[in-house]
Amino acid sequence: MSKRLRFLIILIPLCLSLTITGCSLQDLLGKNKNKTSSKATEDKTIIAVSLNENDPNKLLITKGIDDLAKKEDVTVKYIKSGSEAESALEDAKILIYQGGDESTLQKSQAQEIPILALTQLPSGVKPEGIIIPDQEKVGELMGQTLVGKVTEGQVVILQGDPNESGSQELLSGNKAILSKYPKISLHTISSPKGSESVARTSLVDFLQKNPDNVLAILAHNESLAAQASEVLKQNQLDKKISLIGGQANVPSLDRMAKGSQTGDVDTSPYLQGANAYQWAQKIINKEPLEIEDSLTSEQGEIPAKIVAVKAVTPANLAVIQKSYTKTLQSAEQEQKKKDESSKQESKEKEGEEKKGQEAKGQEQADAKKENGQSGDKQNAVPPGVDKVTERVKTETTRDYLDANGKVMGTEKTVNEQTKTVPPEMLKQQAEQAKGDSKGQEEEGKDKKEEKK
């Protein structure tokens, strides 16, 4: 058997097999780019994120998420309001939730999208896990900073919402250190959600009743620390009473640099974001989480990733302040680019829509003008006309061909006819044309109204 015959015997069954299965040779060799491209689009990971708009370190958390997302083929969609939730959750593989409209949680549950909590456990849902700073350690570090300055007298603790995750642990950390000093007496002012102004009023009242006894204020978050700082300045007590915060941020570090705040705690917001992204990816890929701890909630035990914290002191203030400021500036620049890009896209979209509307309007105007001109021509019967004649001239060319299609001869004939047209007939035709045009316009309007 020759080599050529053997090749044909192998090739023919292969071609028949490809024909029967509906596959092409290109598919067999894995060169179908359209399928690969389509699959890549379907497999693209989307992470939805809802952050607490009042968190002073929101942009730093955002940067921690975005920096890692840039290294992978991941799209991060941030939800700023409840109305954005539906579009942001579309095709999302997971929701990272710190705060925002609670309807986002409900929509996420309805669509069976896993939830990863950040800094706070949301009520009514059971997240796959939570990323949270070591709150008890934050409380201990605040207490240690205080006893480095004060070992007796009255101390006011401004606690955040006692119902929030970690709030009690933070207070417990304060007391674990300060309880060792019997000459220190504690007065706690809590501020449930929405009652921050009440906490400020309570602080002012307590300071007025104890003008010389209060020696320090521990403020658990930036909102409370900022209000306490204002109260102390207004009452000229900022040099007498030490203020210690529990949530370092650019403004609080600036207060420390100016001497109006004694200490603070770095809760590593950038790392909070980075850890949230890493855990989100593990949950999406169904990989085991590195469970170090857990938090008890109304929904049961929640796996927790505890982010390390450290005290901000005069010794490390300059380094931490520079790091926070630099990271924030970078995050702001990136956010500005995002906003500009979003505005540009929106502007281009509006421009395209406007051009489309203008083109459509021009088409309608041209059509209307053409109809009008046509009507005018049909109506162009001068007054006083009694008779109208039309001359119609036709020219016919006749070719004589042989069997091979060759032209053997050509004959031309010209026929010219003149006929009389009553003027009333022309007027009737013009009126009918106008009526048809008006009917089409009304029909178009009716269709538009039905669509609305």
Q: Spell out the SS3 assignment of 96-151.
A: EECCCCCHHHHHHHHCCCCEEEECCCCCCCCCCEEEEECHHHHHHHHHHHHHCCCC
Q: How confident is the model at residue 21 (pLDDT cuts 50, 70, 90)?
A: very low
- Over residues 338-360, the mean pLDDT reads 71
Q: What is the pLDDT of residue 450?
A: 55
Q: How far apart are CA 54 and CA 77, in angstroms?
A: 19
Give the per-residue pLDDT at 152. Answer: 93
Higher-scoring residue by pLDDT: 261, 26: 261
Residue 296's pLDDT is what? 83
Helix (H) or strand (E) holding 289: none
pLDDT of 9 reads 44
Q: What's the Cα-to-Cα distance from 178 to each of 104, 143, 218, 313, 396, rounded to whole Å?
A: 40, 6, 11, 19, 115
**What percentage of the chain exceeds 70 in pLDDT?**
78
pLDDT recorded at residue 13: 44
Give the model's confidence band at 32: pLDDT under 50 very low, under 70 low, under 90 confident, else very high.
Answer: very low
CB 128 within 8 A of CB 119: no
User: What is the pairing mode between strands 293-297 and 264-266?
Assistant: unpaired
pLDDT number for residue 400: 75
How far the first Cα of the chain sits from its last, in Å, is: 77
The residue with greater pLDDT, 339 or 262, is 262
pLDDT in tens, 140-150: 999 999 999 99
Residue 278 has pLDDT above 90, yes or no: yes
Residue with tokens 């007796």: 152
Q: Label the pairing between strands 214-219 and 242-245.
A: parallel
Lowest mean pLDDT among 35-39, 126-130, 131-135: 35-39
Query: How are beta strands 184-190 and 153-159 bridged, if at all?
Result: parallel
Average of per-residue pLDDT across 184-212: 90
Looking at residue 92, what is its pLDDT? 95
Mean pLDDT for 55-76 is 94
Q: Are strands 293-297 and 300-307 parallel, antiparallel or unpaired?
A: antiparallel
Chain-wide mean pLDDT for the chain? 82
Q: What confidence score (pLDDT) does residue 217 get?
A: 97
Instruction: Look at 13-27, 228-242, 333-347 and tell me which has the smallest mean pLDDT.
Output: 13-27
Integer CA distances (angstroms), 132 to 52, 104, 136, 448, in order: 14, 20, 11, 55
Name the one residue in this structure whose structure tokens are 């915060």.
245
